[in-house]
C-alpha cells in the first residue's frame, strides 16, 4: 500500500504535516485529536476554547469537554484540498459540503462515535 503526504496550511500560517494512513494524531495546538482510517476517510475532533463545543470562549486550558467540534474529510483523490463532509443527524449519515470548509459543532460523544462508525465503514470512492 502506498501512502501520500501533504501539508495543511492553517489560517494563522502554521503548517501541520499529515500522512494519509491509519493513525491517531493529537494536536499540540489545542485539545483534540484526528483519526485517519484505512479507507482514507479522516475525522478531526476538537474541543478547545476556539472550537464549537462546551469549552467555546473559555480560557482553553481544559483537556475535557461535554461536546466537541468535528470536521470530516473524504479520501484524497486529486491532491489538496480534500473534500469536506458533514454529519446529518436526521439521516444518520455524512453528506458532501459545497463549502470550502465545514464543521459540525456541539456534538456529543455518542454522535462522534456514530460518525466514526459511518466513515470508517465507507467505500473509498463515496
Domain extent, residue 75, equals 5-120
- Asked whether residue 24 is assigned to any structural domain, the reply reads yes
- Asked whether residue 76 is assigned to any structural domain, the reply reads yes
Total domains in the fold of the chain:
1
Cα–chain-centroid distance for residue 119? 11
- Asked whether residue 25 is assigned to any structural domain, the reply reads yes
pLDDT of residue 7: 37
| Contact (Cβ atoms closer than 8 angstroms) between residue 107 and residue 69 | yes
Tens digit of pLDDT at every position of the chain (126 positions): 333 333 343 333 334 444 456 666 777 777 899 999 999 999 999 998 889 999 888 876 677 889 999 999 999 877 667 889 999 999 999 999 887 889 999 999 999 999 999 999 998 655
- Asked whether residue 82 is assigned to any structural domain, the reply reads yes
- Asked whether residue 126 is assigned to any structural domain, the reply reads no
- Asked whether residue 65 is assigned to any structural domain, the reply reads yes
pLDDT of residue 85: 95
Beta bridge partners of 5: 19
- Asked whether residue 125 is assigned to any structural domain, the reply reads no
- Asked whether residue 70 is assigned to any structural domain, the reply reads yes
Amino acid at each position: 500500500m502506498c501512502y501520500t503526504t501533504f501539508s495543511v496550511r492553517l489560517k494563522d500560517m502554521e503548517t501541520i504535516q499529515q500522512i494519509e494512513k491509519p493513525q491517531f494524531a493529537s494536536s499540540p495546538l489545542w485539545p483534540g485529536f484526528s483519526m485517519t482510517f484505512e479507507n482514507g476517510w479522516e475525522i478531526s475532533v476538537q474541543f478547545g476554547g476556539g472550537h464549537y463545543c462546551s469549552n467555546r470562549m473559555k480560557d482553553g486550558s481544559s483537556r475535557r469537554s461535554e461536546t466537541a467540534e468535528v470536521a470530516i474529510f473524504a479520501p484524497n483523490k486529486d491532491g489538496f484540498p480534500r473534500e469536506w463532509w458533514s454529519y446529518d443527524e436526521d439521516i444518520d449519515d455524512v453528506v458532501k459540503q459545497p463549502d470550502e470548509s465545514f464543521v459540525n459543532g456541539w456534538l456529543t460523544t455518542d454522535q462522534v462515535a456514530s460518525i466514526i462508525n459511518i466513515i470508517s465503514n465507507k467505500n473509498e470512492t463515496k
